[in-house]
A and B are shown apart, each in its own frame.
Chain A
Amino acid sequence: MEFFERFAIPHPSAPIYASMVAIGLTVIAIVAGLTYFKKWGYLWREWLTTVDHKRIGIMYLISALLMLFRGGVDAIMMRSQTAIPENTLLDAQHYNEVFTTHGIVMIIFMAMPFIYALMNFVVPLQIGARDVAFPRLNALSFWLFFMGAMLFNISFVIGGSPDAGWTAYFPLAGNEFSTSVGTNYYALALQIAGLGTLMSGINFIVTILKMRAPGITLMKMPMFTWSALTANVIVVFAFPVLTVALIMMTMDRLFGTHFFATTNGGMDMLWANLFWVWGHPEVYILILPAFGVYSEVISTFARRNLYGYKSMVASMVGISFLSFLVWTHHFFTMGQGALTNSIFSVTTMAIAIPTGIKIFNWLFTMWKGKIEFTVPMLYAVGFIPIFTIGGVTGVMLAMASADYQYHNTMFLVAHFHYTIIPGVVFAMIAGLTYWWPKMFGFMLNERIGKWAFWFIAISFNVTFFPMFFTGLDGQARRMYTYSEATGFGPLNMLSFIGALGLAVGFALIAYNVYYSTRYASRNISADPWDARTLEWATQSPVPAYNFAITPQANSSEAFWDAKKKGHELFKGEVQKIHMPSNSGVPFIMSCIFFIWGFSFVFSLWIPAILATIGIFICMAQRSFERDPGYYISVKEIKETESKLRGA
């Protein structure tokens, strides 16, 4: 009995029990459904073992949408609790768990897979490649991310959620003050997902540097690919810091070391530094691919080439460099003194300059254009003013003396939502809508999409704009309640109403997916938006081999040139195509990683050791396996092509 006690949740409540039941029922339903429809084989062959970047992209996408839902429910719970003073919907402990989970889910398990969904799907197509450089590693990246996410998500029903904030500052996150296993979940789940991300980083850098089709020099890459390159370079430099910091955290919590725990010479400030040395670059990992999406979308729907290509590239490179020089701005108030603060104030403000260049370049891309307000374009156009507010408030926060007043308040919360939501979430919806026909061979309904956009754009401002004011009025962040006398009530109520509006907006997007899947015409061209880059030169949906003939590029808009200037994209004859074969090992290995993580969370040493051995066996298997891949014959390619073209 004692053994099982550790799995109980320390602070149970009715909604948690209800969730347990719901999770149980869902799992049963899925298993039963798969068995009844005899889909196990299909699932295994086509998805669990796939190494195709497009399918992996789609799996990232589904995971991201699920996590968006989870994080969104958390958000609604928080805004409901704070909608009125002295509310008792959630108690303090529960509220702490909810905002901690919300932060991690949204950043690590929603935004990250979303950008990797688009990068996976689009980057190889934009550079005319057959797949990423290491397809099987790519599958492993996805499954590690997925298992990390699952491990994190079971925390609230087995053992308890983390509750020390997504920043998990020590000593609060140490054993002394966080006694439940929640923070172990944090350390292990982020570790597993982070390993996957690091592998993706390497994979995409190699892919972009090594696998470009003829003619695509670095300065002729589409802007989204450039953004993916810079983001992945940041990943490779930043994520090892997280890996090490999490190992140290795990050691502190499980093996009694004192890296961060403040007794016996541990340093709480070391954690804060390591966390933000990763954490600040992380926010730029998220924003750069979003910038890439906007560059594609704005240029497509303004019907013009991107203005200032070179300065766009230079500014991204500049941002990725600067993003490593600013981390201290997250704790100006830690007492490092005026000189240090001033240095980091200046470096932080400096980031606004390349960011500003990009904004102006997008504006000038619309100049003399012929702007069409499709759904992706609406998000891009909505992004510009909203993100500008996020950026300028960032500059305000960067002034250390003033940050003493903004820090830890709702003002800060408003700032980062004004950057992340238009920056990342809008961009991902825009990219999703834009590339949807390439992914699935039909378009999302424009009318529902526009309704969703207006709901989201307006509700977003209703939700977050008031926070600038409550922050300046002294409302600290992460407060589960406040008294009526503070006067925060009305504006928090407004935020709550906005949050409901956002929920409606996202529900409309979900409905749009359902509606369009059922009713949208499958009879669309491969290039429904009249776009400019190479991914639109192949069929929709994209065949497994991407391009029957490797395209030849002459500019960053080779497809546009092919349409308008007679550039010849596909020269030569169809030849047989070499493809990597599927493998179940990445999935199996990641399952073992899940067990490994779970065992560590609960200090179950025997399974942990066995799982470690299992992981090494999987690695050995890969080392000794001979996998020559397979060929798709010319005949088969021709058949596929004519079928898709005829459709």
Chain B
Amino acid sequence: MKWNWAILSSIFTIITVLTGCNNKLMVLDPKGPQAQTQADVIMISIWTMSIIVAAVFILLVIMLVKYRASKQPADYEPPHIEGSKLVESICIGIPVIIVIFLSVITIQSNEQVETTPKGYEGQKPLVVYASSSDWKWHFSYPEENIETVNYLYIPTDRPLEFKLYSYGPITSFWIPQLGGQKYAMSDMVNTLHLAADVPGEYMGRNANFSGKGFAENTFDVKAMPQDEFEKWVEEVKATAKPLTQEKFDELLDPGHLGRLTYTGTHLDFSPAPEGENGEHHMMPSHTEHSAMAE
């Protein structure tokens, strides 16, 4: 029977090698402060949990090796043992300590991922309204007064505030290398705080199943220095066509689209939902800008 366990452990090794060697796992290769926090929490929890896993595995192997019938004399009668207060207290005590330790980390990090990233507090965030429709993403930049479909350009080293909502099923806005996901729903606006430290191109997608076109419901993210970002905005303003209500309704039709770029945003004629859900539905502060643009 020993060889079976050998196979089992070699499988774990093979898998680890298969993935570990060629590239870093996206979530563990963070490019922004929130993703960094999350990667740290993940690694801490993996190491902490390894203690438990190791304890269970070692105890199991000891029991199986030492107390197998073939090692015992034929007339051995196992004793009756009720249990021991001390042993059971240890079995409760150590997990309790571990859970307390992880709880502290969780509570701290929960707070962090829900607020402006550390080190970015003083800065004015870039607000982007990210809304999904079957099966696209619309990104409205109210202050810049432009809108894109299925691609997202962002400046590095500046806090980003995503306002998430959906024209349809619940979706989940996720850019693994910048930070974890959050739902976009049709009856309220959620806020997701992110930031990018490193310029580069990242994968973004809807992570929550939303029907037929779900698998392809992705978007490209490109993080670039602030001045480059501003240049891009200027370029869009100079070249792109305005987004009309008619055009926008057309965009909402179920299906897939490539990358599209517009001046103006849909927020003027199709504002984000105002839910009753606490802090997340402040009216966008962009109205005067767009009014100016018109």
Residue of B nearest to A470 (CB): B19
Residues in chain A near residue B28, CB distance under 8 A: 472
List of B residues within 8 angstroms of A494 by Cβ: 15, 18
Fill in one digit per residue for B77-115: 1 if any A CB lies within 8 Å of its CB, else 0: 111111100011001100110010011011101111111
Contact in complex: A371, B63 (CB < 8 Å): yes
Interface centre among B23, B76, B99, by most chain A C-beta atoms within 10 angstroms, is B99
Please choose the segment from B142-150, B152-160, B166-174, B264-272 that sits at the chain A interface, where 4 or more of its residues have CB less than 8 A away: B166-174
Select one of A172, A308, A360 contacting B211, CB under 8 A: A172
* Complex interface: stretch among A45-53, A141-149, A197-205, A337-345: A337-345
Q: Are B91 and A360 in contact (CB under 8 A)?
A: yes
Q: In the complex, A396 Cα to B106 Cα: how many Å?
A: 10
A171 touches B168 (CB 8 A): yes
8 Å CB contact of B88 from A308, A367, A405: A308
Residues on B with beta carbons closer than 8 Å to the beta carbon of A177: 134, 168-169, 211
A352 to B98 CA separation, bound complex (whole angstroms): 10
- Which of B48-56, B219-227, B234-242 contacts its partner? B48-56
A371 touches B183 (CB 8 A): no
Nearest-neighbour CB distance to chain A for B201, whole angstroms, equals 12
In the complex, A188 Cα to B103 Cα: how many Å? 41
Interface-forming stretch among A221-229, A283-291, A299-307, A599-607? A299-307
Known A357-B88, A404-B38; contact A92-B179, beta-carbon cutoff 8 A: no
Say yes or no: A353-B99 contact (C-beta < 8 A), given A303-B78, A402-B38, A490-B18: yes
Could you tell me if A346 and B80 are in contact, using CB atoms closer than 8 angstroms? no
Q: Which residues of B contact A305 (CB under 8 A)?
A: 80-82
Instruction: From the candidates A331, A341, A345, A409, name the one contacting B183 in the complex (CB within 8 A).
Output: A331
- Assuming the contacts A165-B209, A172-B169, A172-B170, asked whether A458 and B188 have C-beta atoms less than 8 A apart, the reply is no
Q: Does chain B have a CB within 8 A of A215?
A: no
List the A side residues contacting B46 at CB < 8 Å: 396
Q: Which of B4-12, B117-125, B284-292 contacts A (4 or more CB under 8 A)?
A: B4-12
A401, B102: Cβ atoms closer than 8 Å: no
Question: Within the assembled complex, what's the spacing in Å between the Cα atoms of A431 and B27?
Answer: 40
- Taken together as a complex, chains A and B put the C-alpha atoms of A136 and B15 apart, in Å, by 52
Q: How far is the CA of A434 from the CA of B76 in the complex (A)?
A: 23
Proximity string of chain B (1-42) to chain A, C-beta cutoff 8 Å, 1 when within and 0 when not: 100100110011001001100110111100000010110011
Contact flags A363-382 to B (C-beta < 8 A → 1, else 0): 11011111111000000010
A614 at the interface (CB under 8 A from B): no
Q: How far is the CB of A482 from chain B (nearest CB, A)?
A: 7
Contact indicator B112/A350 (Cβ below 8 Å): no
Choose from B53, B87, B170 the contact partner of A392 (Cβ within 8 Å): B53
Residue interface mask A391-408, B partner, CB < 8 A = 1: 011011011111111011
Cα A401 to Cα B110 in complex, Å, equals 5
C-alpha gap A381/B63 in the complex (Å): 10
The answer to whether A335 and B207 touch (CB under 8 A), given A92-B212, A404-B113, A404-B181, is no
Q: Check B78 against A368 for contact (C-beta < 8 Å).
A: yes
Q: Is A481 an interface residue when CB atoms closer than 8 A count as contact?
A: yes
**Chain B residue at minimum C-beta to C-beta distance from A350:** B99
Residues in chain A near residue B15, CB distance under 8 A: 465-466, 469, 491, 494
Complex Cα gap A499–B110 (Å): 37
A164 cross-chain contacts in B, Cβ below 8 A: 209, 211
- What residues of chain A lie closer than 8 Å to B53, measured between beta carbons? 385, 388-389, 392
A369 touches B67 (CB 8 A): yes
Instruction: Name the contact of A385 in the complex, choosing from B18, B38, B45, B60 (C-beta under 8 A).
Output: B60
* Complex CA–CA separation, A458 to B7 (angstroms): 8
Q: How far, in Å, is B108 (CB) from chain A's closest CB?
A: 8
**Contact mask for chain A residues 533-574; partner B; CB cutoff 8 A; 1 contact, 0 none:** 000000000000000000000000000000000000000000
How far apart sit A478 and B111, CA to CA, in the bound complex (Å)? 30
Closest to B3 in A: A454
Q: A169-B169, A370-B78 are in contact. Are A262 and B87 (CB under 8 A)?
A: no
What is the 8 Å Cβ interface bit string for chain A, positions 345-357, against chain B (1 contact, 0 not)? 1100110110011
**Can you name the residue of chain B whose Cβ is closest to the Cβ of A459?**
B11
Report the separation of the CA atoms of residues A177 and B209 in the bound assembly, to the nearest whole angstrom: 12
User: Size class of B's contact patch?
Assistant: 35 or more
A373 lies within 8 A of B68 (CB): yes
Tally chain A residues at the interface, Cβ within 8 Å.
94
Q: Is A513 an interface residue (CB 8 A)?
A: no
A252 to B152, CA, bound (A): 36
What is the CB-to-nearest-CB distance from B193 to chain A, in angstroms, rounded to a whole number? 11
Residues in B whose Cβ lies below 8 Å from that of A403: 180
List, in ascending order, chain B residues with CB within 8 A of A491's CB: 15, 18-19
What residues on A are CB-neighbors of B259 within 8 Å?
none
| Distance (whole angstroms) from the CB of A171 to the closest CB of chain B | 6
Cα A506 to Cα B81 with chains together (Å): 37
Is there contact, CB below 8 Å, between B25 and A472? yes
Assess whether A595 is interfacial by the CB under 8 Å rule: no
- A303's nearest neighbour on chain B, judged by CB, is B78
With A405-B27, A458-B8, A462-B11 known as contacts, the answer to whether A357 contacts B78 (CB < 8 A) is no
B278 adjacent to chain A (CB < 8 Å): yes
- Give Cα A309 to B109, complex, Å: 38
Closest chain-B Cβ to A512's Cβ sits at a distance in Å of 18
- Complex A-B: 29 CB contacts under 8 Å: A303-B77, A308-B83, A334-B182, A335-B277, A337-B279, A338-B110, A341-B110, A349-B99, A353-B95, A367-B67, A369-B67, A371-B67, A385-B53, A388-B52, A399-B109, A400-B106, A401-B112, A403-B180, A405-B176, A405-B179, A407-B180, A458-B8, A465-B12, A472-B26, A474-B176, A474-B205, A476-B206, A479-B214, A482-B215
Q: 5 closest A-B pairs (Cβ-Cβ)?
A: A404-B180, A308-B83, A401-B109, A335-B190, A172-B169
Extra contacts besides A171-B169, A388-B52 (19): CB < 8 Å: A92-B215, A172-B170, A268-B187, A302-B67, A335-B182, A335-B280, A345-B103, A349-B99, A363-B56, A363-B60, A384-B60, A395-B102, A396-B42, A399-B45, A399-B109, A401-B113, A474-B203, A480-B214, A494-B18
Q: Which residues of A contact B (CB under 8 A)?
A: 92-93, 96, 163-165, 169, 171-172, 177, 262, 267-269, 302-305, 307-311, 331, 333-335, 337-338, 341-342, 345-346, 349-350, 352-353, 356-357, 359-361, 363-364, 366-373, 381, 384-385, 388-389, 392-393, 395-396, 398-405, 407-409, 454, 457-458, 461-462, 465-466, 469, 472-474, 476-482, 487, 490-491, 494
